[in-house]
Amino acid sequence: MKFYDVEKLRRDFPILSREVNGKPLIYLDNAASTQTPRAVVEDIEHIYYTTKANVHRGVHCLSQEATAAMEASRERVRAFLGADSIDEIIFTRGTTEGINLVASSYGELLSEGDEIILTVMEHHSNIVPWQLLQKRKGIVIKVVPINQLGELDLEVYESLFTDRTRLVSVTQVSNVLGTVNPVKEMADIAHKHGAVICVDGAQGVAHMKVDVKAIGADFYAFSSHKMYGPTGVGVLYGRRELLNAMPPYQGGGEMIGHVSFQGTTWAELPFKFEAGTPDYVGAATLAKAIDYMESVGIENIAAHEHELLEYATSQMASIPGLRIFGTAPGKAAVISFLIGDAHHYDTGILLDQLGIAVRTGHHCAQPLMEFLGIEGTVRAAFAMYNTTEEIDKFVAALKRVAAMLT
- Interacting residues with ligand 7TS (CB under 6 A): 31-32, 94-96, 123, 125-126, 171, 175, 200, 202-203, 223, 359, 363-364
Considering the complex, state which of residue 34 and residue 203 has its C-beta at the smaller distance from ligand 7TS: 203
Considering the complex, state which of residue 63 and residue 377 has its C-beta at the smaller distance from ligand 7TS: 377
Which residues have C-beta within 8 Å of that of residue 206, sequence separation ≥ 6? 30, 34, 226, 227, 228, 293, 301, 383
The residues facing 171 across adjacent strands are 200
Count of beta carbons in the 10 Å neighbourhood of residue 44:
17
Calculate the dihedral angle through the C-alpha atoms of 236, 139, 124, 243, rounding to the nearest 10 degrees. Answer: 0
DSSP percent split of the chain into helix, strand, coil, nearest 5: 45, 20, 40
Considering the complex, state which of residue 25 and residue 32 has its C-beta at the smaller distance from ligand 7TS: 32
Considering the complex, state which of residue 297 and residue 361 has its C-beta at the smaller distance from ligand 7TS: 361
Which residues have C-beta within 8 Å of that of residue 396, sequence separation ≥ 6? none
Whether the Cβ atoms of residue 342 and residue 406 lie closer than 8 Å to each other: yes
Can 364 be counted among the known catalytic residues?
Answer: yes
The residues facing 234 across adjacent strands are 92, 223
Considering the complex, state which of residue 94 and residue 150 has its C-beta at the smaller distance from ligand 7TS: 94
Helices within 272-320 (DSSP H only): 280-296, 298-316
- Which uninterrupted H or E stretch holds 187? helix 183-192
Three-class SS of residue 23? strand
CA distance readout (Å), 35 to 9, 73, 386: 12, 20, 11
Least distance (Å) between residue 365 CB and ligand 7TS:
8
Least distance (Å) between residue 161 CB and ligand 7TS:
23
Closest residue by Cα to residue 239 from 282, 210, 199:
199
Least distance (Å) between residue 376 CB and ligand 7TS:
12
Instruction: Report d(CA 339, CA 402) in Å as an integer.
Output: 7
Least distance (Å) between residue 221 CB and ligand 7TS:
8
Least distance (Å) between residue 1 CB and ligand 7TS:
29
Cis peptide before 367 (omega within 30 of 0): no
Instruction: Report d(CA 378, CA 400) in Å as an integer.
Output: 15
Work out whether strand 196-200 and strand 165-171 pair parallel, antiparallel, or are unpaired. Answer: parallel
The residues facing 217 across adjacent strands are none
Least distance (Å) between residue 67 CB and ligand 7TS:
25
Whether the Cβ atoms of residue 190 and residue 60 lie closer than 8 Å to each other: no
Considering the complex, state which of residue 267 and residue 383 has its C-beta at the smaller distance from ligand 7TS: 383
Catalytic-labelled residue, pool 20, 364, 374, 405: 364
Considering the complex, state which of residue 56 and residue 123 has its C-beta at the smaller distance from ligand 7TS: 123
Closest residue by Cα to residue 202 from 65, 15, 332:
332
Considering the complex, state which of residue 178 and residue 270 has its C-beta at the smaller distance from ligand 7TS: 178
Whether the Cβ atoms of residue 232 and residue 126 lie closer than 8 Å to each other: no
Least distance (Å) between residue 178 CB and ligand 7TS:
11
Least distance (Å) between residue 199 CB and ligand 7TS:
10
Q: Which residues carry out catalysis? A: 364
